[in-house]
Amino acid sequence: MAAVPITDLRQHLGYLKPSDVGRIEEAYQFSSTAHQGQFRKSGLPYISHPVAVAEIVADWQLDAQAVMAALLHDVMEDTEVSKQQITERFGKPVAELVDGLSKLDRIEFQSQADAQAENFRKMLLAMARDVRVILIKLADRLHNMRTLEAVNAETRRRVARETLEIYAPIANRLGLDSLYRELQELSFSHLYPLRYKVLAKAVKGARGNRREVVDKILKALKERLPAAGIEAQVTGREKHIYSIYNKMIEKRLTFSQVLDIYGFRVIVKDVPACYLALGVLHSLYKPVPGKFKDYIAIPKVNGYQSLHTTLIGPYGMPAEIQIRTQAMNHIAEAGVASHWLYKSSDAEINEVQQRTHKWLQSLLDIQHASGDPAEFLEHIKVDLFPDEVYVFTPKGKIMAMPRGATAVDFAYAVHTDIGNRCVAAKINYELVPLRTELKNGDRVEVITAAHAHPNPAWLSYVKTAKARSQIRHFLKTMQYEEAAALGERMLNQAVSSLGAKLSEATPERWEKFVREAGAKSRQEIVADIGLGKRLAAIVARKLLTLTEQQQAEGKAPAGSIVIRGSEGMAVQFARCCNPIPGDPIIGFIKKGQGLVVHTHDCPTAAKSRGDPEKWLDVEWAPETDKMFDVAIRVTVVNQRGVLAKVAAAIAEAGSNIDNVSMDEERNLHTTMHFTLQVANRLHLAKVMRALRRIQEVVRIARVKD
């Protein structure tokens, strides 16, 4: 096998000390030996890939440990080398980096999606401990994308989609702009090769047509700025094909309608010069109203700073211009890597590090709240596309939120406890619903209450990963506690039906049972009963270890489980029959959902009666403390104002209308479908009597299915 020479890599290492270069050469030799006999799909020796990744990492001028980890990043995954061997040879920091980069191929997963989610979870958590992990991973992905032609079409599409959905947004989140653009461009070319070719050809054609105008604008900028006493580097660039494609899709334009396929960059010496240059350019060409953005005063979440403006150039061609300082340009190009790339105490670079650290810390918070890898990945995807809006706290602090974020998202961004206890919000001093979307410049104040808690409905409109994961975490915890209370009652009933009392189960017996069952505590056992994961009758028998005679004597069933309506998520009322107090009912244990209550005559329940151990005797408490949904169908004479009469009668009978719909066929008669909230069957009867008194009502019936 022809080894890939280290001389190519050496050319990229001029910024390091000779002793560090020696250690990198040692890592190269180790990796080359470990990958001996392995080849890439392209036919090249496998070592060519780690060397290429190390070169990209070295171009970002990361430290020697990161370059060594880049060379070794596949040895744990693809060879017999262990983490211990890397630790002994190259030190613990390098071994930790390699471990963070290694996939989890040796663990069995239920599906490809689970494996992918777990890989991302591990990678992102390793990155939260050390950001170099993701920088090396991004370099790895960049080289894989550059050499993707060697794999089959299906793999190309899968890898390209994954890059577009996850890796490119991470590069953007970390401020690595040129990497972000290249990953997008490569992904687009592999995901939609025909569209890419057509657009590339169109851009090439437009280049010739618009060259004269672009040169004219460039010349005007280069002359006008020095004339105003502003030293500036001015460059013109063609916009990336993927960003042109995105604009066409989002704004439903044809290629010929996308005029601004060229952008211009003006780099000046300091911040005051940025604003002076802006004034000069606005006097040169007229600006497009509403197209000016000041990312210097309010930087993007990833630390990006620039002034953006769009001007109407010669022949009406729009010209997009970015104005920034040299330091801002470094950060825009290298993002978080600028910490290694430009060793300085620049306030801007420190600011980037703090922002990145804050985001990485939020990953750990989300992981703690979600636990499930697939859920974690879903949260991260939400968090990676923050088209930001900037809002103010009551004290004037600026907070960046994703576009579409609501007052609830803001509350969780301030603090988890504020989110959990929020009851209302004020935007610009006015009370608004919690689901109100935030806009740029809003002043947001959150109102909390000590005993408030998250509402499951919030999940339908929150936008941020933190809010979503914390709400789910709270609801899971609440469901667990409610399930434990229900499970305790179910276990009591099962023990009573065996002619015994739960108090007979001594603490020692509980301890032994918990250990044998592989659970952590008694509460986990009873919560599992409440959630339908364990059968109360089996737990009761094992727990009491009764003799056959005792069991025979105690077979008469004890009291039923009493349903009060306030059990929360641990007790659900079946949507197929909508039971209400007064209906004869039966309970069914459904795994993972707890106790589901049906009416005795429910057809759905009749189909599931095969397993008698899952059915429980339940009865309504004499006084229930909630309103229950019930469906009714009302057929009326089709006259003007009849819906108002029916609604008024329902309200006068003390019921609330939750939903109403009408049949589309409206001839002499029409049928209305209502979901009402009633206290019990007597209340429903009162409502139906009130409706029968209306002259236009022809027929009325309760709907159970």
Torsion angle in degrees (nearest 10) through CA of 683, 688, 689, 690: 90
CA 488 to chain centre: 35
Report the phi/psi class of residue 428: left, alpha or beta, with left for phi > 0 and alpha for psi in -120 to 50: left
Instruction: Count CB-CB contacts under 10 A for residue 205.
Output: 11
**Interatomic CA distance for residues 257 and 274, integer angstroms:** 30
What are the structure tokens assigned to 494, written together?
């099962």
Q: In b/e form, how buried is each residue of 493-520, taking b as 16+ CB within 10 angstroms?
A: bbbbbbbbeeeebeeeeeeebbeeeebe
Of these residues, 59, 77, 365, 437, which one is catalytic? 77
Query: Radius of gyration (Cα) for the chain, nearest Å?
Result: 33
- What is the SS3 assignment for 364-412? HHHHHHHCCHHHHHHHHHHHCCCCEEEEECCCCCEEEEECCCEHHHHHH
Question: Closest by alpha carbon to 142, among 175, 98, 184?
Answer: 184
What are the structure tokens assigned to 193, written together?
């090769």
Give Cβ neighbours of residue 106 (< 8 Å, ≥ 6 apart).
Answer: none
Which residue's entry shows tokens 């003390």? 654
**Cα 642–647–652 angle (5° rounding)?**
125
Tell me whether residue 215 is one of the annotated catalytic residues.
no
Which residue's entry shows tokens 């079409």? 153
At 449, the amino acid letter reads: A
Beta-strand relationship, 422-427 and 430-432: antiparallel
Beta-strand relationship, 286-287 and 262-268: unpaired
Any idea what DSSP says for residue 288?
P
Of these residues, 26, 78, 294, 333, which one is catalytic? 78
What are the structure tokens assigned to 630, written together?
């019930």
Question: Closest by alpha carbon to 435, among 406, 463, 471, 466?
Answer: 406
Question: Closest by alpha carbon to 492, among 557, 585, 589, 548?
Answer: 557
Tell me whether residue 78 is one of the annotated catalytic residues.
yes
Q: Are 306 and 323 in contact (CB under 8 A)?
A: yes
Stretch (H or E) spanning 430: strand 430-432
Entry field: residues in the chain: 705
Q: Residue 579 in 3-state DSSP? A: coil
- What is the SS3 assignment for 130-158? CCHHHHHHHHHHHHHHHCHHHCCHHHHHH
**Interatomic CA distance for residues 386 and 404, integer angstroms:** 9
Any idea what DSSP says for residue 316?
G
**Interatomic CA distance for residues 695 and 443, integer angstroms:** 54
Any idea what DSSP says for residue 333?
H
Tell me the DSSP string of 46-83.
TTHHHHHHHHHHHHTT--HHHHHHHHHTTHHHHSS--H
* Catalytic (active-site) positions: 77-78
